[in-house]
Amino acid sequence: QVQLVESGGGLVQPGGSLRLSCAAAGRILSIYNMAWYRQAPGKQRELVATITSGGTTNYADSVKGRFTISRDNAQNTWSLQMHSLKPEDTAVYYCNADLETTMTIGVRVPYWGQGTQVTVSS
């Protein structure tokens, strides 16, 4: 069974920092695009950052210059380093990746983590 396991959420004051991590486990053959999404109460899930297998990154305008996505291909992990956090960054953060597994050879299937709460408040 393949799963994505997130860690690192919590409560932080405005201006603070947090680091989220996601680990992919199971019978994985390849990991392609990795991403972080977030969903605030009453809002739709939105894309925060992506990183390709080659390391190309892309960010939502609202987090550019504050968040950094990175990946460790050898460990099948990726992270989101968040600095200068604002109350509007409060949301449940989800990791996402396109995986090829032993059950889906030749096919990329999107997987999601369970979500981790980030709360920015004084």
CB count, 10 Å around CB of 107? 10
- What pLDDT is stored for residue 90 in this prediction? 98
- Of the CA atoms within 13 Å of residue 107, those in its CB half-sphere come to 7
1: confidence class by pLDDT, cuts 50, 70, 90: confident
Strand partners, 57: 51
Q: Above pLDDT 90, what percent of the chain?
A: 90
Per-residue pLDDT reduced to its tens digit, 49-73? 999 989 999 999 999 999 999 999 8
Burial class of residue 63, CB neighbours in 10 A (0-12, 13-18, 19+)? buried
